[in-house]
Amino acid sequence: MNSDNNSNIENWVRIRPLSELEDIDSVIRTAGGRRAHEDSDKRKEKNADYLIGNNIIELKMLDDERLEKPEAQAKIASLFGSAQPGRPVVVIDPHTLKRNDRLLYASIMQSPIKGAVRSAKNQLKQSRKEFGNSYNTLLFVVNNGFTALTHEEILNHVVKRVRNDTSEIDGVVVSGCYMHGDGFDAYALWPIDYVPINDGCRFGEFEALKSAWGDLAQRHMSGFVRGEHGPAAAKGVQKDLVFDWEGRTFVKPAIPIGRESAFFGRRRPRLHRLPFDRVRHVALTIPQLSAVEYRRVRAALKDEPLLESLETWEAHVEEALSHSTPLKPVVPVDISRGGWEAWKRRNPDSNGLHSLRLAANERYGVKASKLVHAAKEYVPGAALPRRYIAVVVEIIGQDEENDISHIGIAKQNEIEWIIENERVPHFHALSLAAAHAIKLDINDVLWRHDLKYAWQ
């Protein structure tokens, strides 16, 4: 389920972003067009960029990622943070919002588009004064780096803003390059669409423009395959958009690739911070002695004040347990003198009460490891243990550090939650579940993944 710890999804595939002079000018020329004003750099008035037939075209490139802007982050955090209280990781999903809040979200996200339309209408108006009213005015939007919205969402926002904000634009063309990749597979989508705004606007050259756009896509991707774009290219594959705001993490999961990988299968690799050979410290242990074992251990550790009496040791255990928390439980571990001495024979450099604690810790580790490895996925309709620890992990996007877990005691189809809405990935959650299982003398751990926001 996870890739190597050094994986970086952002750097799996990187291509050169589109350039107005190098790429879009070529598209316009191939479609039979030209620059509207060859002397535009010397003119005082701002004007449109291109002419194709009797169509004046103003180009707007969406180069910036909206959710990387602090002013947008503040508004998004306020909107979604209040809608998902108590969660350390908040998913930016407009479908979870009420209607008025969805409209507010749309307003926040379409701000760059609104600015582009406002600028374009004045430039198109100026050029139409010079070329005459017989010319159509078109806005050509190229999505070059705005990945928080899909092509369809960008198109809808552009059309809506033009219809609401101006009568100076007769039609819109929206296109973009969208890269997808998982470290093995990589592919790009190059959509382009035309939508007339005024009924009388016929853009007969659109098919030529569409064909030229397809030629650009082929050239651009051929250069990428030949390695001409280089590792420093700025545009990467679709990735989670993540930012922190006032102690919480906000995630807009990457658009799912949507088709099963021939290499990875159903579950694509995800980022993880901790190597598999490292252990997360999820619990503290305390040796627990029966009356018989206390007397046997006490005989070997006569000078330990905490073992002065059974009552003294039990008070020490109780004091330790008072510091237990759901995310770091203190777990009492039954220990015998025989087990302790066997441990000391394997570890001759350790002695005293410290060795007793280490022996209990090792015993805990063995039990916890068995529980984690024996943990089973919950299958609806399957027979369940009478009592078990339930683990539900919300898989969120590409990075397991953004996953949210819930852990509880399940009995007779009811769950008493011990941990809710904690930023804990799968294996960490299983380790925590094992700790609580040992503490509560429960023999089974069952887990389930909520894949609503999983990257697949």
Q: pLDDT digits over 52-110, tens only? A: 999 999 999 999 999 999 999 999 999 999 999 999 999 999 999 999 999 999 999 99
DSSP assignment string, 35-96 = ES-TTGGG-SS----EEETTEEEEEEEE-S-GGGSHHHHHHHHHHHHHHSTT-SEEE--GGG
Helix ranges, 399-454 (H):
426-440
Q: Which helix (H) or strand (E) holds 405?
A: strand 404-411
User: What pairing do the DSSP bridges indicate for beta strands 248-252 and 89-91?
Assistant: parallel
Q: What is the DSSP letter of 165?
A: H
Q: Which residues pair with 328 in a beta bridge?
A: 325
* Spatial separation of the C-alpha atoms in residues 322 and 434, rounded to whole Å: 20
Half-sphere exposure of 247 (CA within 13 A, CB side): 3
User: What pairing do the DSSP bridges indicate for beta strands 387-397 and 178-181?
Assistant: unpaired
* Spatial separation of the C-alpha atoms in residues 264 and 3, rounded to whole Å: 10
Residue 207: per-residue pLDDT: 97
Residue 3: per-residue pLDDT: 37
Which parts of the chain register pLDDT below 70?
A: 1-13, 40-43, 230-233, 258-267, 273-280
Angle in degrees, 0-180, between the axes of helices 99-109 and 70-83, rounded to the nearest 10: 170
Residue 7: per-residue pLDDT: 46
Residue 1: per-residue pLDDT: 33
Taking residue 350's Cβ as centre, other Cβ atoms within 10 Å add up to 14
Length of the chain: 456
